[in-house]
Structure 1
């Protein structure tokens, strides 16, 4: 691993609501107020999965027992932030109860549950993440009844 590389991890959380697949996106309270799934930097001694679980609870108030995780859907994105390399690992998870409330941390100012097209339009600046969302949708439709 590149010691200068920042590593982050999170979950692409979806729910099935009124026969629609919807993805959870959070709007940051900093920078350009971009939309992102719950994710954050890996702390020393933490695995990427532990980080994803911790960050999802901290940023969205969703605990491990609130969702089902799909071990067989994991995606890693590599890109630069302010000229420094960053790696982000995402797992896919489904909210068990579509009415489970989302509780934001002060790192975010808003959240939305969005169908694929709306989610893609919210993250249009991030082509690599759009690709991951499209792959998630395909995975859900072909693997889940």
Structure 2
């Protein structure tokens, strides 16, 4: 089975966490992320995708060096891999927004800051496990 890798960020506000950012796809919520380009590290990819999709730059955030979350699932790529299934690995990093920024959305119709109140039930496949892992990491799980 072909394999692909994407990286992104969970961006939070507040200390302790008060809210987190999700991007709106036509039928689900997701995080700013994208596929790793050749020669790119996971962090370089996550930072590039964050800026491309939201306008948030590396200078706007404080990255948590102790958090890295990885998940895998099967995706059917209609264009890539000739319409076959591929094993997708996604790596997420955690960062706190240090200053107010105006979002510049380029790939999503909408974005929303959600109140931090774990446990969260938003999107089982890609979001809920990450939010649970962050809650445990920061000692805010219920």
Task: Say yes or no: TM over 0.5.
Answer: yes
| 2:92 equivalent to 1:95 | no
Structure 2 residue aligned with 1:63, among 44, 57, 68? 57
1:45 is matched with which residue? 39
Contact kept, 8 Å, 1:116 with 1:133, in 2: the verdict is no
Q: Equivalents in 2 of 1:35, 1:75: separation in Å? A: 18
Distance verdict in 2 for CA 1:51–1:119, change over 3 Å: farther
State the Cα RMSD in Å: 2.2
Contact kept, 8 Å, 1:116 with 1:137, in 2: the verdict is no
Contact kept, 8 Å, 1:48 with 1:89, in 2: the verdict is yes
Q: Which runs of 5+ in 2 are unaligned?
A: 77-84
Q: Equivalents in 1 of 2:90, 2:37: separation in Å? A: 13
Offset of residue 69 of structure 1: 0.3
How big is each residue's C-alpha offset from its partner over 1:6-36, in whole Å with a ceiling of 9 and x where there is no partner?
100001110029x7621100012xxx43211
Q: Which moved more, 1:36-45 or 1:19-28?
A: 19-28
| 2:115 equivalent to 1:115 | yes
Offset of residue 141 of structure 1: 4.0
Q: Which runs of 5+ in 1 are unaligned?
A: none
